[in-house]
Amino acid sequence: MQRDQMNGFQWLYIATQGIRFKPDRAAVRAELAAHLEDKQTDLQRIFPDLSPEEAQRRAVESMGDAWEVRKQLAKIHRPWLGYLWRLSQVLAVLACLWLVSFGFFRGDDAYLGDHPCSELWDADDLPRTATMGDDDDLRYLPGDDPNQLLALEIGQTERVAGQDVSLRRAALWQGEDGLELYLYLRVNTWRFWERGVLREKWMKVTDDRGNCYVLGVESGEHPEDGSLMNGLGMWGFGPFHSGYEVYIRNLDPEAGWIYLDYGPTQPLFSFAVELKEGDQ
């Protein structure tokens, strides 16, 4: 094909054929076609006696050598960039489908928290595996068990380093060897790659009677089951949150308030819970 005998269709085909990623090729071709049409329109406006064929021929010539344009476009539009972008789109769609369909695959338990392994969303503000008794009653929900002394929805929230730290629930139980207090906290953020972790050694628990409740191995072992008396553990997680439970199993029966202060030196956040029914 003679280079000086190309029409607009032939020029566009040759100039864009070096772009291997088809979506990019179609977009570039549409843009070049618009430029070519504009040039032809301008020529016919400036030279009214010019035939459409001659106007197109001159417009094609002004666009440059098709083979040279092809080389330059091929260098700019690398195919792996397009394929990488398409792969990222596919992965994003698959991730959305997984997030949406998770509850359907796992049934109602994925949202209601009844199953100890399926609570990844924590939509009910309950720890993943917090259960009491043979009937699998969640310890934070009011029930008929006479050993349950208190079940509160707290809802206190503080903003820390771009994340929301919340004290969501509290439950007080009469254990075999004394009062047991359970506090459920959540760390929420849309930036899942920066989701914070609460450290046990940074959590300070005190009450209004001056007692300080040590967490972890220094709190000693429970006389019945050998587990730690007091501690902080992760009890549930999801794409945008982590759930934590503070448990105190040697609570002073005269305590009226519990205070949580978290931080390596100065508190990053603090919560207070009144150990009676009512709004916090």
Q: From the CB of residue 227, how many other CB atoms can be counted at a distance below 10 Å?
A: 10
pLDDT digits (tens, 9 = 90+) for 12-67: 888 888 777 777 788 888 988 898 888 888 888 888 888 888 888 888 888 888 88
**Model pLDDT, residue 20:** 77
Could you tell me if 269 and 152 are in contact, meaning their C-beta atoms sit under 8 angstroms apart?
no
Residue 278 has pLDDT above 60, yes or no: no
Q: Are residues 53 and 171 in the same domain?
A: no
In a domain, 254, yes or no: yes
Q: From the CB of residue 77, how many other CB atoms can be counted at a distance below 10 Å?
A: 18
**Model pLDDT, residue 4:** 55
Q: Are residues 192 and 65 in the same domain?
A: no
Q: Are residues 266 and 129 in the same domain?
A: yes
Give the CATH number of the domain where residue 259 resides: 2.60.40
In a domain, 103, yes or no: no
**Model pLDDT, residue 16:** 85
Domain closes at, from 62, 77, 92 = 77
Q: Are residues 184 and 265 in the same domain?
A: yes
Which band of pLDDT confidence, cut at 50, 70 and 90, is reported for residue 79?
A: low
**Model pLDDT, residue 253:** 93
Of the two residues 117 and 183, the one the predictor is more confident about is 183
Which band of pLDDT confidence, cut at 50, 70 and 90, is reported for residue 128?
A: low
Q: Are residues 126 and 263 in the same domain?
A: yes
Task: Report H helices in the chain.
Answer: 8-16, 22-46, 52-62, 66-76, 79-106, 109-112
Tokens representing 60?
């094609």
**Mean pLDDT lowest among 44-58, 200-214, 260-274:** 44-58
In a domain, 97, yes or no: no
**Model pLDDT, residue 98:** 67
In a domain, 143, yes or no: yes
Which domain does 204 fall in, by range? 122-274
CA distance 186 to 178: 27
In a domain, 94, yes or no: no
Closest CA to 140 of 171, 96, 100: 171
**Model pLDDT, residue 112:** 34
Residue 224 has pLDDT above 80, yes or no: no
Number of folded domains that form the chain: 2
**Model pLDDT, residue 215:** 95
pLDDT digits (tens, 9 = 90+) for 142-199: 888 899 999 999 989 999 888 899 999 999 999 888 899 999 998 888 877 666 788 9
Q: Are residues 267 and 141 in the same domain?
A: yes
Could you tell me if 238 and 211 are in contact, meaning their C-beta atoms sit under 8 angstroms apart?
no
**Model pLDDT, residue 109:** 34
In a domain, 136, yes or no: yes
Q: What is the mean pLDDT of residues 251-269?
A: 93
CA–CA distance from 249 to each of 25, 61, 105, 153, 175 (Å)?
68, 87, 37, 20, 8
- Percent of the chain past pLDDT 90, that is, above it, reads 28
Which band of pLDDT confidence, cut at 50, 70 and 90, is reported for residue 234?
A: confident
